[in-house]
Amino acid sequence: MSKSKKNRKISVLVEMRPALEGFAGIPQEVRLLFRGLRQLNGVEVEGLLQTSHRFLSAGMPEKGRKKFKNTYALNRYSKVIVSLAEQPFENVFDRVSRFMRRKLNAFQLTVLLSLGLGKIRLGRFESKEFQDFTWRILFSKSLPARDFGSVASADHRICSVPWNTMHMTGLSTLTWRRTALYPTLVTPDVDVFIGQTPYPGRVAKGTKMVIRYHDAIPVLMPHTIPDKSIHQATHFRALEANVRHGAWFACVSETTRQDLLKIFPEAEPRAITIHNMVSHNYFAESPDIQAAKRVVRTRLYEQSGWLPKFLTSREKESFYRKHIDSSGFRYLLMVSTIEPRKNHARLIAAWEYIKANIDPDLKLITVGTLGWDYGTIQTAVSGWMERGELFMLNAVPTGDLRTLYRNALATVCPSLGEGFDFSGVESMASGGITIASDIPVHREVYDDAALFFDPYSTASLVQALKQALYEDVSPEVEEQLRERGQQVSGRYQPEVILPKWQQFLAQLSSRTGLKAVPAGNGSSIEEPCLQPTQQPTPNTAKAA
């Protein structure tokens, strides 16, 4: 091996599909991970552009692209951007080529898979002239503007075939096989491919696949997911194939890793835990209730059926001035997609009890987009929204969310099941306090920096709220939670998590001669070991 080859950087390809979506946990984690990996020495990072349902334009070919004029390349890259939203304009030749390509893909992905010929060649997208697109579409929802330079210029590969098509193709092979078979991405010069959730594909020989495994909820809690039959099947079958083909699993928590091993114990030698990173844009600052009021007013969810009905804009402005600009604006906060597993109903019931018996002026703010099966929640909140007591917000950027966390009396995380749960850690990092459901992942991630309650008991949540906010010991409890919250949230800062990724990638690379590279905290990673180790049992003592 030549010296230049020994010193070549580890090539990492990161699936970016979730980053095309909104503000939820997995899209946020993808953006943060991509930013973090771009900061590592000895690692060269690109993204994989792919949509869930739309066929993308192919971009430029991986080989031989230098022989094309720049004018031609820019047009091809521009059409990739257009294809994310609609079908680009095409001449007759382009239309015939696209038709044949899609037919060939369908043929390969349904028939030739059984012969090992189901391969997908990746196109190329160079971002130099399109950084506004990459920033605003992929990264701006989670990252501050100061990160523009580190992520917007990154190049990407293109998988034209939709993610959902690859999933359904794999399921179709079950008509003649006992296990699903998925197409292969042609990745000859990629050392590590990081897929998000079970990925419906394989990688070329010489590339290691790493699945960023967020949770096993589609298998272990299928009654809480949308499109239950297909969602459960695609998750399980792709996960089964990933395990069978030797993928590694970087789980977002030890709880998630243990859930993975319940389903596929044989994955244990290749399953490790690297916790999520909390955004560097969450940090403690002085309370500013006026700033919080402005956030509430400007980020209201303008969705039909989720706002009071007003006859005129003047009536609307008068309503919100009355109920938001009042001097005693005090609120509980919940940040989560609106769907059954998140347990909004438990928080609403406890909040209603507190309002009726202890604190009639207490308001409730929820931040999150509409998910599925939310009819019961909509019924429960509509009356309170019409009275100006409950406010639903959406599309709240990081800086505004930091303000909400810091000024809330408490952030409540009542979920019945999670893989990590960003909101509690974000609250701690912002100087807020967290009250969380007593589930294994919350005990692991939040440790003793939260008050815990039984997620199936309204009385238990009411007691936790009383202890944190309304009893003689509450000031001491609050002080302890804020202090511990700063310490515990520090465990998930980029400078703590990124050295673990650097160690993992260095050992995972198939090349030899890689040197120890300085980690984010200035130390050196030496003799890293990928053998999974038993994590310490989380502290189960409740915060006093």
Q: What is the mean pLDDT of the chain?
A: 85
Q: Is residue 39 part of a domain?
A: yes
Mean pLDDT across 447-465 = 97
pLDDT tens-digit readout, 210-248? 999 999 999 999 999 899 999 999 999 999 999 999 999
Q: Is residue 512 part of a domain?
A: no
Query: Count of domains in the chain?
Result: 2
Contact predicate 184/204, CB 8 Å: yes
For residue 30, what are the domain limits? Answer: 3-273
Q: Say whether pLDDT at 111 is over 70.
A: no
Mean pLDDT across 304-308 = 73
Confidence of residue 109 (pLDDT cuts 50, 70, 90): low
Residue 312 and residue 164 share a domain: no
DSSP 442-492: HHHHHTTSEEEE-TT-HHHHHHHHHHHHTSTTHHHHHHHHHHHHHHHHGGG
Q: Is residue 509 part of a domain?
A: no
> How many percent of the chain have pLDDT more than 70?
85
Which residues, 6+ apart, have CB-to-CB distance to 116 below 8 Å?
none
Mean pLDDT across 380-399 = 88
Q: Is residue 392 part of a domain?
A: yes
Amino acid at 304: S
Confidence of residue 2 (pLDDT cuts 50, 70, 90): very low
Between the alpha carbon of residue 228 and those of residues 9, 72, 415, the distances in Å are 42, 44, 19
Residue 299 and residue 266 share a domain: no
Residue 302 and residue 198 share a domain: no
pLDDT greater at residue 168 or residue 259: 259
Q: Is residue 345 part of a domain?
A: yes
State residue 401's pLDDT score. Answer: 95
State residue 57's pLDDT score. Answer: 87
Residue 315 and residue 256 share a domain: no
Q: Say whether pLDDT at 99 is over 90.
A: no
CATH at residue 161: 3.40.50
For residues 422 and 335, give the distance between their C-alpha atoms in angstroms, rounded to a whole number: 9
CATH at residue 333: 3.40.50.2000
State residue 66's pLDDT score. Answer: 65
Mean pLDDT across 180-192 = 90
Neighbour count for residue 380 (Cβ, 10 Å): 16
Whose CA is closest to 25, among 340, 332, 426, 412?
Answer: 426
Residue 245 and residue 295 share a domain: no
φ/ψ of residue 184, rounded to 5:
-110, 130
CA distance from start to end of the chain: 59
Q: Say whether pLDDT at 94 is over 70.
A: no
The model's pTM is 0.86
Q: Report the alpha-carbon angle 213-218-224, nearest 5.
A: 130
pLDDT tens-digit readout, 28-52? 999 999 999 999 988 999 999 999 8
Residue 251 and residue 180 share a domain: yes
pLDDT greater at residue 110 or residue 257: 257
Residue 115 and residue 264 share a domain: yes
> How many percent of the chain have pLDDT more than 90?
58
